[in-house]
């Protein structure tokens, strides 16, 4: 016959294995314990953008509120902002950010070449 100590050890081992099995099945069926999902960087950015109040245009890369999309600043301070005018909309255009200390002359030259 088993001694009391052996019997207690056997019962303890049984409950430990049973608990491990239930934990496995709980995790397998989508019920993990003490795991909370943290929002990713993109989700945090989107939640922050939604919390801002802007009655006109919210720049997607800087989250500044401006009157028109071409009024958005470049996201990197060292970049130069160039505006390519829109042939169909007066006052409209496309904003380009150029890196490298150059000016907008080359962009304007290319814009004229492709709008002919």
pLDDT in tens, 51-81: 888 899 888 888 899 998 889 999 998 899 9
Tell whether 24 is covered by a domain.
Answer: no
CB 103 within 8 A of CB 96: no
Tell whether 6 is covered by a domain.
Answer: no
Q: What's the pLDDT score for residue 48?
A: 74
Tally of domains in the chain: 1
In this prediction, residue 7 has a pLDDT band, given cuts at 50, 70 and 90, of: low
Q: Which of 12-21, 31-40, 69-78 has the highest mean pLDDT?
A: 69-78
The domain containing residue 100 runs over which residues?
A: 42-114
**Model pTM greater than 0.75?**
no
Q: Is the dihedral of CA 84, 86, 89, 95 positive or negative?
A: negative
Query: In terms of pLDDT, which residue wins out, 19 or 98?
Result: 98
Tell whether 86 is covered by a domain.
Answer: yes
Tell whether 52 is covered by a domain.
Answer: yes
Tell whether 22 is covered by a domain.
Answer: no
Q: What's the pLDDT score for residue 73?
A: 93
Tell whether 18 is covered by a domain.
Answer: no
Tell whether 87 is covered by a domain.
Answer: yes
């Amino acid at each position: 016959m088993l001694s009391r100590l052996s019997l207690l050890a056997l019962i303890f081992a049984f409950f430990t294995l049973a608990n491990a099995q239930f934990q496995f099945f709980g995790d397998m069926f989508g019920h993990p314990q003490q795991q909370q999902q943290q929002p990713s960087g993109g989700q945090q950015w989107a939640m922050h953008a939604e919390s801002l109040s802007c009655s006109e245009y919210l720049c997607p890369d800087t989250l500044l509120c401006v009157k028109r999309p071409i009024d958005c600043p470049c996201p990197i301070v060292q970049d130069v902002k160039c505006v390519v005018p829109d042939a169909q909309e007066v006052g409209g255009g496309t904003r380009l950010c150029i890196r490298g200390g150059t000016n907008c002359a080359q962009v304007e030259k290319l814009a004229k070449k492709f709008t002919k």
